Structure 1
Amino acid sequence: MKHKNIAIVLLVLLLSIATKAQQITAPKQSKSILIRNATAHLGNGKIIENSAIGFKDGKLILVADATTIRLASGAYDTTIDASGKHVYPGFIAPNSTLGLVEIDAVKSSDDEDEIGLFNPHVRSIIAYNSESKVIETVRPNGVLIAQITPRGGRISGTSSIVQLDAWSWKDALLKENDGIHLDFPSSFKRSGSWFEPGTKEPNKDYKTQIEEINSFLSNAKAYNLDTAKERNLILEATKGLFDGTQTLFIHADEEKQIRDGIQVALSNGISKIVIVGGYDAYKTTDILQKNNIGVLLRRVHDMPLSDDQDVDLPFKMAKLLTDKGILVGLENSGSHERMNTRNLPFLAGTCAAYGLDKEIALQLITYNTAKILGIDNLCGTLEIGKDATLFISEGDALDMRTNKLTQAFIQGRGISLETHQSQLNTKFKQKYNQK
């Protein structure tokens, strides 16, 4: 009863904050905008030192060097002089539970995990809360797009991709049901806890668990090939895996996990595969290259998993994979993952500090991730015809000291960068300044 009362108090407090600091979703772009004189980081490895970025009706219509073009007077309704500043495409957070959980301790606000082992029919998007107070805290660091992903079970469910300024999940959608997520079993079991790790022992059920996955996928494939059948919603939900319209995201870290997971997928006729986590992916570049499989690399701000590994190994993984020609993006799942989503650009910054070229590191959270998720036709780079989802920063957006956004746009809409945290900061600054 005591814990229940605490949970109720927390929920009431959250609702109180939400009432006082409710954000209003930005209206559709009605006036054309030109951003001039900024250093534009296009997200594809290229930089324009003195750029002209124009957009209208939510789409980019101009991406050019301002010194090589001449614009007619009044060509744009609004002109923003961004001299000395930087323009970036919006950052993308894959494998995220943003909007699925508000307060971990309040069960009624936690909707990331469904009962059952094989849940391909569970659609995370219908549980997505576009008005989550956590979402507004990630936008000020440039994170404007996310892949909303369920957790739990062997097959967790289906993810969808959203932009992070919307009234409802329907308004937020960029790509619905983009992929199905498979949490591949580990070949080892670790005892103990994070603060006092125990020994690692072989998973005696590993072979049986793989057989279960194989059996499910085999039945699903057979079901979707059969035209005269009794309807099965669970198996029907896997159709996209076999016709190539959906991606199978295999969550795996160990080398054996990764190799076995890919083999299981390929043997069942699944060709669009992405590895999520991929701690040992640098040991499997042969099979990744051969099958054109990308990797959404686990949070790099972490310690090595084994005592005999280089302490800097997590920071270097992106470069190890990139140097082998693997398409790499960064994801941020783990402890406090929703709150830590704001740190996504700094993960890329760490990869740059440990060997990657800065513009290639930027691609880890822009173009590469967009390509892996199949939304590179909409976003990920600053190119004519794509969504005007971008932001202006006072400095290097991959450096926590200089990532200071002045303006951000989602599909051309100028969005608010204010949060309930910044409002409270302003409120109490004013309070104590009055004394």
Structure 2
Amino acid sequence: MKRFIPNILGWATALATTAILHGQSAQVPAAPQDGVIVIENVRLHPVSEAHPEMIDNGWIVFEDGRIVSLGEGAAPKTDGEATRIDGQGLSLVPGFISAPSQVGLLEVGAVSATDDRRESADRSPEAAPWIAVNPDSDLIPVARSAGILHTLAVPSGGTIPGQTSVLRMDGWTTEDLAVMRNAGVVLSWPMAASVNAPWMRRGPREQRGDIDQRLKGIDRWFDSAEAWNAAREADPTIRTDLRFQAMGPVLRAEKPIFIRADSRGQIETALAWAKARGYRPVIVGGAAAADCIEVLRSSSAPVILTRVHRKPASRHHPVDAPHS
């Protein structure tokens, strides 16, 4: 009996270890580039200011995992040996960047243990998605096979769900995946107008009051964050507040603030608020961006469009409005 119990424990440990290993993704990150690679006789889509037009018969040179040069016509000779690939009849485009993305933060929606998209608090600017991302996610190689080489990981839930992180879709650990750990902070902007619908149980006046309270709450919180950062700069011994400390780069306009806003009222009020405070806004969502082009142009605010494969906002919009 004494010998039987250790044997049972040994088998249980072995089975548990096997289950853990089986649950990991079978993806193997690529090895670092060894040598120079030249792709020639290929159709290039550079998508850059230096080369805004398509190059029908071009070449491109890679070294140390980066593009070092490209051009039209015959490929130049390189120093030393190089792997040359004939791209005749093929097209070459830059790797896509998926933004906003939750790849690696959510695996199975029905299993809460695989969902790291949100924190429990309403304001969590210190939450960094690069730490929470699962490098063994089966969705990472799927995204990579579709040409998505980088993502902008964006958390959700609450007024300030957290930071954004730029991740590469290749690596063994979260440190390998992280290109930019803190690319900015996300702010969910309140609705700008009341909703008149059968399912809405609150009247317009009550909704307007809720919107005003949320806007005032955002202002008070950012006032406190600015005050703490100013005090911390004057006196480094002040007690640390991780939430306010994480807001520092945004408050100093060193990093952008990603504002989730869809309606015209949301976009216009969010841009006015950011301008008044001296922040660098990036609109995320932008369903009604086409209705406020002049405001966006004057503010020079970038827009990340989401849900482009959806129906138009109203019946008088063109059918291709979401993605045109």
Say yes or no: TM over 0.5: yes
Secondary structure at the aligned position of 2:161 is classed as: strand
What root-mean-square deviation, in Å, do the aligned CA atoms of Structure 1 and Structure 2 show? 2.3
- In the alignment, what sits opposite 2:245? 236
1:15, 1:42 → 2: CA distance?
43
1:77, 1:136 → 2: CA distance?
28
| Structure 1 residue runs without a partner (length 5+) | 1-13, 317-435
129-138 or 74-83, larger mean C-alpha shift: 74-83
**Structure 1 pair 308/65, CA: closer, same or farther in 2 (3 Å)?**
closer
- In the alignment, what sits opposite 2:262? 253
Task: State the one-letter code of the partner of 1:33.
Answer: I
**How many residues align structurally?**
295
Contact 2:170 2:177 (8 Å CA) reproduced: yes
Contact 2:59 2:72 (8 Å CA) reproduced: yes
Residue 42 (structure 2) pairs with residue 38 (structure 1): yes
TM-score (norm 1): 0.64
- In the alignment, what sits opposite 1:124? 129
Contact 1:34 1:76 (8 Å CA) reproduced: no
Query: C-alpha deviations, 1:364-407, integer Å up to 9, x for none?
Result: xxxxxxxxxxxxxxxxxxxxxxxxxxxxxxxxxxxxxxxxxxxx
Query: C-alpha deviations, 1:255-277, integer Å up to 9, x for none?
Result: 1111111222222231x110001
Alignment of 1:10-409 (within 5 A): 18=23, 22-44=26-48, 45-67=52-74, 70-71=76-77, 75-188=80-193, 198=199, 202=204, 203-204=207-208, 205-226=210-231, 227-228=234-235, 229-270=238-279, 272-316=280-324
Query: C-alpha deviations, 1:234-282, integer Å up to 9, x for none?
Result: 1111001122221100100011111111222222231x11000111122
Task: State the one-letter code of the partner of 1:55.
Answer: F
1:188, 1:136 → 2: CA distance?
42
**Structure 1 pair 279/70, CA: closer, same or farther in 2 (3 Å)?**
closer
Larger Rg: 2
Secondary structure at the aligned position of 1:38 is classed as: strand
1:58, 1:279 → 2: CA distance?
36
TM-fit CA distance, 1:70: 4.2
Contact 1:100 1:127 (8 Å CA) reproduced: yes
2:211, 2:196 → 1: CA distance?
16
Query: C-alpha deviations, 1:299-319, integer Å up to 9, x for none?
Result: 211012334433332133xxx
**Which structure exhibits the higher relative contact order, with contacts defined as CA atoms closer than 8 Å and separated by 6 or more residues?**
1
TM-fit CA distance, 1:188: 4.3
Contact 2:128 2:181 (8 Å CA) reproduced: no
**Structure 1 pair 114/41, CA: closer, same or farther in 2 (3 Å)?**
same
Task: State the one-letter code of the partner of 1:302.
Answer: R
1:306, 1:92 → 2: CA distance?
29
- In the alignment, what sits opposite 1:388? none
Contact 1:100 1:110 (8 Å CA) reproduced: yes
Taking only the aligned residue pairs, the percentage that are identical comes to 29
TM-fit CA distance, 1:80: 1.0
Secondary structure at the aligned position of 2:257 is classed as: strand
Query: C-alpha deviations, 1:167-212, integer Å up to 9, x for none?
Result: 11111121120010001111346588xxxx8569643311111010
Task: State the one-letter code of the partner of 2:220.
Answer: S
TM-fit CA distance, 1:71: 2.1
1:92, 1:245 → 2: CA distance?
22
Secondary structure at the aligned position of 1:238 is classed as: helix
Contact 1:38 1:85 (8 Å CA) reproduced: yes
Query: C-alpha deviations, 1:63-100, integer Å up to 9, x for none?
Result: 12133x5426x844311111100111100001111100
Task: State the one-letter code of the partner of 2:258.
Answer: F
1:141, 1:286 → 2: CA distance?
35
TM-score (norm 2): 0.84
Secondary structure at the aligned position of 1:221 is classed as: helix
TM-fit CA distance, 1:140: 1.8
1:66, 1:172 → 2: CA distance?
36
4+ runs of 1 displaced by more than 6 Å? 14-17
2:63, 2:192 → 1: CA distance?
52
1:143, 1:276 → 2: CA distance?
19
